[in-house]
């Protein structure tokens, strides 16, 4: 589990951000003493830092510079200052990314994930499996009993969401929401089309009734 | 300076000279001096007078021409008295001193209002920075406590955020020290960020989004571009039709520019109003139908585009579509 340090002086934001990131599966370390922020962060051995720029005793740029002398830990500046100069300053001091407040939550999570993937690359990409069907993540293919089927980006994303929510009923809204966060701008009608096409492809592989429709609730695999 | 004008100015001197000559003529005539002598004297005095008169005129003309040339080449015309030569002529000197005083007071006023404008801009910047903190917490609270109510509050927060950004960019307009940084921007990323911002209302309103060939780079400021695109997308949502609303986003490239267009199938703009949509405060028929229109969004878009060296134009057919095209340079222009 990745550990993220949050350096933020606004108590409300700090606490809510902690809940949000915990819900997304991260371990959180809150920094409240800004005088020795860099030392505290380095002691906790975090994987990533969300660093506010405007802090009471010193500014985030300074903390960033100090951390950079000792560690290459990914740093994301999170600030409500949004001029080009501020961003440039952040990058010059060794920040890896720069996000403006108020942040869009999916974008924030995606940036964190990207940075973590880049900083700590893992070789193993686990393919997802359910009921004997394999979803090959690298090739974006479906495999079933030696047979293979190619998927479009949209179909893959939809199926990926089903696979990661096994045995759960997922609502149409949830799926559309997930697709939007992943750059597929589906509406209600197009989701129906996607599911129909997926069912056809599954049928070609010899799988029937894999995606069940739960009337008024959504789908389930 | 016109010659006739100069003669008018010097009419007293000319009259005095004529009267003096008439008196001399009458007097010398009474003394019965030889007519030829009188004629020679008269001619000589006329020659002297006319030569002097023309030389004085030439000198004056040269003087004024010099000042005018300086003025023409001076961008800040009110600084004239600082640049022009101190005149030797006592009358000109008097004017020069008056001009200097007037200009000084003007300069003070200009500096004062420049400072006031700068202070105000800085205040707006810091105010925007401050207000974004509670907006951020409120949005996070909504995100962590999802319900129908918080979802609605979140919508309102997004709207507040949009207005706050408008204020920020408005304050940044017409400012000498520009807060932008032109660099290579991936248009797809900018578009996806803007769509992510408007995800909720677009899903709620069942808007279709089609994007085509947007994997393109261009030179602009990312934040400014995203602000502009956001205004356009918000408009497409606001002025949609009730059914089957859709937004099409695409690009076209030529040698110099990338044309990025956003087209919706909304209520469109009346032909008579199309030319005016980028005017400040113009709300039009559609704007008046919608209570929340301020007539600032598109005005800001156009102004920001101007500063970034981009073009923006609109096409529309009432009840059919609105298409806004932004022209973005493909290469970094060398700043002068």
Tens digit of each residue's pLDDT (9 = 90 or more) over B45-96: 889 999 999 999 998 899 889 989 999 998 888 888 888 888 888 888 999 9
- Taking the C-alpha atoms of residue B194 and residue B158, their distance in angstroms, rounded to an integer, is 12
Same domain, A8 and A78: yes
Same domain, A113 and A168: no
Reported as a single tens digit per residue, the pLDDT across B9-36 is 889 989 999 898 889 888 888 888 888 8
A120-159: burial string, b at 16+ Cβ within 10 Å, e else: eeeeeeeeeeeeebebeeeebebbbeeeebebeebbbbbb
Reported as a single tens digit per residue, the pLDDT across B308-318 is 889 999 999 99
Same domain, A111 and A133: no
Which pLDDT value is given to residue B51?
Answer: 94
- Taking the C-alpha atoms of residue B110 and residue B99, their distance in angstroms, rounded to an integer, is 16
Listed residues A119, A147, A162: the one ending a domain: A119
Which pLDDT value is given to residue B314?
Answer: 94
Same domain, A158 and A214: yes
The answer to whether the Cβ–Cβ distance between A105 and B208 falls below 8 Å is: no
Tell me how far apart the terminal alpha carbons of chain A are, to the nearest angstrom: 27
Model confidence at B177, pLDDT cuts 50, 70, 90, reads low
Q: Cα distance from B90 to chain A (closest Cα, Å)?
A: 53
Same domain, A79 and A135: no
Reported as a single tens digit per residue, the pLDDT across B118-165 is 898 889 888 998 999 999 999 999 999 989 899 899 989 998 999 999
What domains are defined for chain B? 3-106 (no CATH), 183-329 (3.30.565.10)
Listed residues A92, A119, A146: the one ending a domain: A119
Which pLDDT value is given to residue B287?
Answer: 73
Query: Average per-residue pLDDT in chain B?
Result: 88
- Comparing CA positions, the residue from A93, A107, A80 lying closest to residue A20 is A107
Same domain, A9 and A113: yes
Same domain, A146 and A72: no
Return all residues near B113 (Cβ < 8 A) that are at least 6 apart.
none
Residue with tokens 């996000």: A99
- Taking the C-alpha atoms of residue B155 and residue B147, their distance in angstroms, rounded to an integer, is 12
- Domain region containing A83: 3-119
Which pLDDT value is given to residue B233?
Answer: 95
Q: What is the mean pLDDT of residues A59-74?
A: 90
Same domain, A149 and A171: yes
Closest-CA residue in chain B for A88? Answer: B181
Listed residues A119, A150, A183: the one ending a domain: A119
Q: Cα distance from A95 to chain B (closest Cα, Å)?
A: 18
Q: What are the CA-CA distances from residue B25 to residues A56, B11, B18, B33, B52 (Å)?
A: 96, 21, 10, 10, 21
Q: What is the mean pLDDT of residues B213-221?
A: 89
Name chain A contacts of B199, Cβ cutoff 8 Å. 106, 177, 180-181
Same domain, A145 and A74: no
Q: Cα distance from A177 to chain B (closest Cα, Å)?
A: 8
Share of chain A above pLDDT 90, in %: 29
Which pLDDT value is given to residue B336?
Answer: 38
The verdict on B193 touching A (C-beta cutoff 8 Å) is: yes
The answer to whether the Cβ–Cβ distance between A101 and B136 falls below 8 Å is: yes
Q: What is the mean pLDDT of residues A177-186?
A: 90
Same domain, A114 and A213: no
Same domain, A152 and A112: no
CATH of the domain at A194: 1.10.10.10
Same domain, A135 and A101: no
CATH of the domain at A29: 3.40.50.2300
Reported as a single tens digit per residue, the pLDDT across B263-290 is 999 999 999 989 899 999 888 877 777 6
Does the pLDDT value for residue A212 go beyond 90? no
Which pLDDT value is given to residue B178?
Answer: 63
* B33-72 residues touching A, CB cutoff 8 A: none
| Total structural domains within chain A | 2
The verdict on A56 touching B (C-beta cutoff 8 Å) is: no
- Taking the C-alpha atoms of residue B208 and residue B2, their distance in angstroms, rounded to an integer, is 70
The verdict on A150 touching B (C-beta cutoff 8 Å) is: no
For A135-198, the DSSP string reads: EETTTTEEEETTEEEE--HHHHHHHHHHHHTTTS-B-HHHHHHHHHHTT----HHHHHHHHHHH
- Comparing CA positions, the residue from B195, B201, B207, B203 lying closest to residue B241 is B207
Which pLDDT value is given to residue A13?
Answer: 92
Instruction: Give yes or no for a contact between B249 and B212, defined as CB atoms under 8 angstroms apart.
Output: yes
Q: Cα distance from B199 to chain A (closest Cα, Å)?
A: 7
Which pLDDT value is given to residue B171?
Answer: 87
- Taking the C-alpha atoms of residue B68 and residue B80, their distance in angstroms, rounded to an integer, is 10
Reported as a single tens digit per residue, the pLDDT across A2-41 is 999 999 999 999 999 999 999 999 999 998 888 888 888 8
The answer to whether the Cβ–Cβ distance between A101 and B209 falls below 8 Å is: no
The answer to whether the Cβ–Cβ distance between B135 and A101 falls below 8 Å is: yes
The complex's ipTM works out to 0.85
The verdict on B306 touching A (C-beta cutoff 8 Å) is: no
Query: Average per-residue pLDDT in chain A?
Result: 88
């Amino acid at each position: 589990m990745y550990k993220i340090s949050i350096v933020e002086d606004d108590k409300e934001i700090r606490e809510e951000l902690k809940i949000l990131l915990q819900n997304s599966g991260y371990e959180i370390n809150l920094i409240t003493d800004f005088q020795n922020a860099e030392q505290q962060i380095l002691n906790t051995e975090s994987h990533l830092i969300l660093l506010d720029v405007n802090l009471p005793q010193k500014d985030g740029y300074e903390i960033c510079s100090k951390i950079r002398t000792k560690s290459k830990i990914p740093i994301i500046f999170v600030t409500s200052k949004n001029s080009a100069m501020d961003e440039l300053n952040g990058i010059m001091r060794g920040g890896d990314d720069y996000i403006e407040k108020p942040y869009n939550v999916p974008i924030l999570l995606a940036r964190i994930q990207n940075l973590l993937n880049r900083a700590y690359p893992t070789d193993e990409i686990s393919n997802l499996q359910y009921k004997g069907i394999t979803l090959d993540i690298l090739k974006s293919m479906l495999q079933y009993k030696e047979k293979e089927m190619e998927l479009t980006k949209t179909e893959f994303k939809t199926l990926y969401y089903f696979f990661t929510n096994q045995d759960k009923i997922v609502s149409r809204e949830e799926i559309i929401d997930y697709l939007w966060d992943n750059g597929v701008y589906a509406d209600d009608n197009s989701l129906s089309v996607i599911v129909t096409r997926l069912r056809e492809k599954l049928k070609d592989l010899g799988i029937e009734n894999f995606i069940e429709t739960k009337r008024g609730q959504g789908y389930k695999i | 300076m016109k010659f006739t004008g100069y003669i008018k100015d010097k009419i007293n001197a000319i009259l005095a000279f004529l009267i003096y000559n008439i008196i001399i003529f009458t007097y010398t005539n009474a003394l019965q001096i030889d007519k030829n002598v009188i004629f020679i004297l008269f001619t000589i005095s006329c020659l002297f007078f006319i030569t002097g008169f023309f030389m004085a005129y030439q000198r004056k003309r040269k003087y004024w021409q010099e000042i005018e040339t300086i003025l023409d080449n001076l961008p800040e015309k009110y600084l004239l008295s600082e640049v022009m030569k101190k005149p030797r002529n006592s009358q000109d000197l008097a004017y020069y001193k008056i001009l200097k005083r007037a200009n000084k007071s003007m300069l003070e006023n200009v500096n004062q209002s420049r400072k006031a404008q700068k202070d105000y801009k800085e205040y707006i910047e810091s105010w925007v920075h401050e207000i974004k903190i509670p907006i951020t917490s409120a949005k996070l609270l909504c995100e962590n406590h999802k319900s129908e109510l918080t979802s609605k509050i979140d919508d309102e927060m997004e709207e507040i955020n949009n207005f706050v950004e408008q204020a920020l960019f408005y304050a940044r307009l017409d400012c000498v020290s520009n807060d932008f940084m032109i660099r290579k921007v991936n248009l797809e990323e900018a578009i996806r960020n803007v769509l992510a911002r408007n995800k909720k209302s677009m899903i709620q309103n069942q808007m279709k989004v089609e994007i085509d060939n947007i994997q393109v780079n261009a030179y602009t400021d990312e934040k400014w571009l995203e602000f502009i695109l956001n205004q356009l997308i918000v408009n497409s949502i606001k002025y949609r039709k009730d059914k089957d609303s859709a937004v099409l986003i695409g690009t076209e490239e030529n040698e110099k520019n990338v044309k990025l267009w956003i087209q919706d199938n909304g209520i469109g703009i009346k032909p008579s109003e199309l030319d005016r949509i980028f005017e400040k405060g113009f709300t039009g028929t559609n704007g008046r139908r919608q209570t929340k229109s301020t007539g600032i969004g598109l005005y800001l878009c156009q102004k920001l585009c101007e500063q970034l060296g981009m073009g923006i134009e609109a096409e529309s057919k009432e009840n059919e579509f609105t298409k806004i095209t932004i022209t973005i340079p493909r290469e970094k222009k060398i700043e002068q």
